[in-house]
Structure 1
């Protein structure tokens, strides 16, 4: 069962570090994906598989936000360029889609690997009670 709390916290870590990481393009986003996946895997606990799954989900969501930010930036740049810029920006839409897809895929993979490592070190949550009586 997916621990959405771990996924959302990992996603938030990826998003915040990704925004801060814009000062180091490329490296900042890679580090954000690794740290966020590690956090999601650690919080989910339960071993390699569970950590990998939660890191993958957090990274995929983080990658979607990263791709959306790239698309918004290019769209605004085209809009500021007037009609010709709008035409160029519109034609670049397919390229933006491919870049967003690549960002999401790379961030999901690296977060999954980091999540698996975090899951090894996280607490074993397989024996915790589930349902309304669960203590947090």
Structure 2
């Protein structure tokens, strides 16, 4: 059974560290995914598989929200440039979707591995 409290806390930790980590692009987000997944796995406990699952959920939720924010930012930028900007923004939508999926996958996988470590430490 999924412990949604652990997933939510891991997501919040990853989000807060990710926002603070904007000072160090890339490294800050990597650390955010790792720490958030570790927290989710640690709180869920119960073995490696359970830690993997909870870290995966926390990381994929964070990656999805991050990808959505990138999409909204590009959409707003396109709207401010008028009809031509809207067309460019629409064409870039496919690339934004691919970037959002890639961000979600990377954050989910690193968080899942950190969740396994967190579950192992809690046991």
TM-score, L = length of structure 1? 0.87
Q: Which residue of 1 aligns with 2:100?
A: 100
Instruction: Report the alpha carbon displacement of residue 122 of structure 1 after superposing the two structures with TM.
Output: 1.4
Larger Rg: 1
The answer to which structure has the higher helix fraction is 2
Show structure 1 runs of 4+ deviating over 3 A: none
Query: Matched residues in 2 for 1:105 and 1:45: separation?
Result: 23
Which digits, 9 at most, give the CA deviation of each residue in 1:56-99, with x for residues without a partner?
Answer: 00001000011011101111111122221111001101111000
Query: Matched residues in 2 for 1:83 and 1:14: separation?
Result: 37
Count of paired positions: 123
Structure 2 unaligned spans of 5+:
none
Instruction: Report the alpha carbon displacement of residue 28 of structure 1 after superposing the two structures with TM.
Output: 1.2
Report matched runs for 1:23-34 at 5 Å. Answer: 23-34=23-34
Query: Matched residues in 2 for 1:95 and 1:7: separation?
Result: 29
Across the aligned residues of Structure 1 and Structure 2, the Cα RMSD in angstroms comes to: 1.0
2:18 corresponds to 1:48: no
Q: Which residue of 2 aligns with 1:74?
A: 74
Structure 1 unaligned spans of 5+:
124-136
